[in-house]
């Protein structure tokens, strides 16, 4: 009979895996860390890279629930409209304009702020739901996997990410560890994905591009007042500049994952690596120790 | 008929701005009276989002019949212009005068 020890409050319960540069190993680390930890404790993995969620490629689980997600956009009701242009003036994103005798709406630009509808003196705009994506929930033993997937053609990732985090808040008790596979870059989608995280792992590679985008990601995390540390993937490639930068800026490097052809081969075949490559299992152990994540099985 | 040419300045000798939504000005030529005027688009040119549709709205408000520009408006702006029945000609370059002459000579492409 196994019992899980959970340590409350004093440990990080929501950990985001982010990067500046794309392709440095966010999904690789997220799925493997989640699966590794799920041997010891219940865990939630959420793929918030909604434009191209691919954590699911590595996890074959049972679909538990699936629901459409919508965002609200305005719809024009011509009859009461006096063409006063108030809506166009109030929209900060130029998503609604008056062109002569009609009101035109651009859903791709709309941020669902309701200003146009709420401030319309004639109630000539109503907010209506527009489907933007699908939220799926899978179970793989002790691991609960949430995938947020934006519909093809949808331009705005942020509302879908916000709804996925809202789903996590509502459906899981705060003492279950959550790992968030975040989108790349440093723009709105990343900020949405990490803003409610307790800790951010920035995964990078020791190349000039890796360093350049890491510095942007570090600046972003500092502005957001986030606790964060770095994991260097594909270690032994490139140069020492990432390490020098981290040392200079007092940024902890949690671990270094060696560049290894076997990892690439397994990963490209859609396989998990945590239990197949020893040095990588050890690197995951470093992360768990660094974050004091309990893995004790009594 | 009123023709609007996206430009970086005002007047016949102003250089054409190849961009539609982020052009600073539109030089307006009334081809029946030969009168020349301009639309100040600087507020839209510097907008963070949605410069295109707002510029198109301004063009519609000024009763423009034809827009001449370089690269052509993006999807949102094109939707407004098409809805308003405003013709769009692309491929303009050089000065406003040059662009107008090219348009008259049928050298610009209708979008």
What domains, with CATH codes, occur in chain B?
2-110 (3.30.420.130)
CB contacts under 8 A, A 69-88 vs B, are 88
Residues A236 and A219 in one domain: yes
Residues A47 and A181 in one domain: yes
Residues A104 and A146 in one domain: no
Confidence band, pLDDT 50/70/90 cuts, at residue A223: very high
State the average pLDDT over residues A173-178: 91
Instruction: Verify whether the Cβ–Cβ distance B83 to A88 is below 8 Å.
Output: no
| Residue of chain A with shortest Cα separation from B82 | A99
Please indicate, yes or no, if residue A8 is contained in any of the structural domains: no
d(CA B28, CA A39): 71
Q: Model confidence over A185-195: pLDDT tens digits?
A: 999 999 999 99
Residues A92 and A154 in one domain: no
A109 touches chain B (CB under 8 A): yes
Residues A144 and A30 in one domain: yes
Contact list, A92 vs chain B (CB under 8 Å): 49
The residue segments making up the domain with residue A207 are: 14-69+132-290
Domain count within chain A: 2
Long-range residue pairs from A242-245, CB within 8 A, at least 24 positions apart, any chain? A242/A204, A242/A205, A242/A206, A242/A210, A242/A211, A242/A214, A243/A206, A245/A211, A245/A214, A245/A215
Q: Is the pLDDT of residue A3 over 50?
A: no
d(CA A96, CA A292): 50
Q: Model confidence over A106-165: pLDDT tens digits?
A: 998 899 999 999 999 999 999 999 999 999 999 999 999 999 999 998 989 999 999 999
Residues 6+ apart with CB under 8 A from B96: B5, B7, B11, B12, B13, B14, B15, B16, B27
Q: Which ranges in B46-95 belong to alpha helices (H)?
A: 51-61, 75-83
Q: Model confidence over B35-51: pLDDT tens digits?
A: 999 999 999 998 888 89
Whether A146 contacts A30, CB under 8 Å = no
Instruction: Verify whether the Cβ–Cβ distance B80 to A109 is below 8 Å.
Output: no
- Sign for the CA dihedral angle at A191, A193, A198, A204 comes to negative
Residues A87 and A197 in one domain: no
Confidence band, pLDDT 50/70/90 cuts, at residue A295: low
Instruction: Verify whether the Cβ–Cβ distance B84 to A108 is below 8 Å.
Output: no
Residues A252 and A281 in one domain: yes
Please indicate, yes or no, if residue A239 is contained in any of the structural domains: yes
Q: Is the pLDDT of residue A4 over 50?
A: no
Residues A111 and A231 in one domain: no
pLDDT at A174: 87
d(CA A203, CA A235): 11
d(CA B75, CA B53): 9
Q: Which residues pair with A232 in a beta bridge?
A: A204, A256
A240 touches chain B (CB under 8 A): no
Residues A152 and A20 in one domain: yes
Please indicate, yes or no, if residue A193 is contained in any of the structural domains: yes
Tokens 């507020």 correspond to B43
CATH for A103: 3.30.70.20
CA distances from A41 to A17, A93, A178, A293 (A): 19, 45, 11, 10
Q: Model confidence over B7-36: pLDDT tens digits?
A: 999 999 999 999 999 999 999 999 999 899
Please indicate, yes or no, if residue A297 is contained in any of the structural domains: no
Of A227, A228, A238, residue with least CA distance to A203:
A228
Whether A221 contacts A87, CB under 8 Å = no
Residues A109 and A152 in one domain: no
pLDDT at B99: 97
ipTM over 0.85: no
Please indicate, yes or no, if residue A296 is contained in any of the structural domains: no
């Amino acid at each position: 009979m196994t019992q899980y020890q959970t340590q409350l409050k004093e440990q990080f319960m929501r950990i985001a895996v982010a990067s500046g540069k794309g392709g440095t190993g966010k999904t690789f680390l997220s799925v493997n860390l989640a699966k590794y930890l799920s041997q010891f404790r219940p865990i939630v993995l959420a793929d918030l890279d909604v434009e191209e969620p691919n954590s699911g490629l590595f996890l074959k689980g049972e679909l538990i629930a699936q629901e459409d997600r919508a965002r609200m956009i305005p719809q024009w009701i011509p009859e009461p409209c006096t063409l006063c242009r108030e809506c166009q003036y109030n929209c900060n994103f130029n998503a609604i304009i008056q062109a002569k005798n009609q009101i035109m709406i651009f859903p791709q630009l709309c941020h669902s702020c309701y200003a146009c509808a709420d401030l319309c003196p004639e109630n000539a705009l109503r907010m209506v739901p527009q489907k933007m994506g699908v939220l799926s929930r899978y179970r793989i033993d002790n691991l609960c996997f949430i995938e947020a997937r934006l519909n093809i053609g949808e331009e705005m990732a942020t509302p879908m990410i916000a709804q996925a985090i809202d789903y996590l808040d509502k459906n899981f008790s705060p003492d279950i560890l959550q790992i968030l596979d975040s989108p790349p870059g440093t723009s709105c989608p990343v900020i949405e994905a990490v803003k409610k995280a307790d800790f951010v792992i920035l995964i990078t590679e020791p190349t000039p591009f890796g360093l350049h985008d890491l510095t942007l990601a570090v600046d972003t995390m500092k502005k957001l007042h986030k606790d964060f540390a770095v994991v260097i993937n594909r270690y032994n490639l490139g140069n020492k500049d990432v390490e020098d930068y981290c040392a200079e800026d007092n940024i902890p490097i949690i671990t270094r994952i060696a560049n290894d052809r076997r990892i690439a081969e397994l990963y490209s075949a859609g396989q998990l690596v945590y239990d197949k490559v020893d040095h990588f299992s050890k690197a995951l152990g470093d992360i768990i120790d660094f974050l004091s994540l309990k893995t004790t099985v009594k | 008929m009123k023709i609007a040419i996206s430009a970086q300045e005002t007047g016949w000798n102003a250089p054409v701005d190849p961009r539609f939504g982020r052009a600073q000005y539109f030089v307006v030529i009334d081809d029946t009276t030969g009168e020349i005027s301009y639309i100040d688009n600087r507020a839209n040119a510097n907008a963070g989002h949605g410069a295109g549709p707002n510029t198109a709205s301004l063009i519609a408000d000024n009763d423009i019949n034809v827009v001449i520009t370089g690269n052509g408006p993006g999807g949102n702006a094109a939707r407004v212009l098409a809805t308003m029945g405003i013709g769009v000609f692309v491929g303009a370059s050089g000065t406003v005068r040059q662009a107008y002459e090219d348009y008259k000579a049928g050298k610009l492409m209708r979008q």
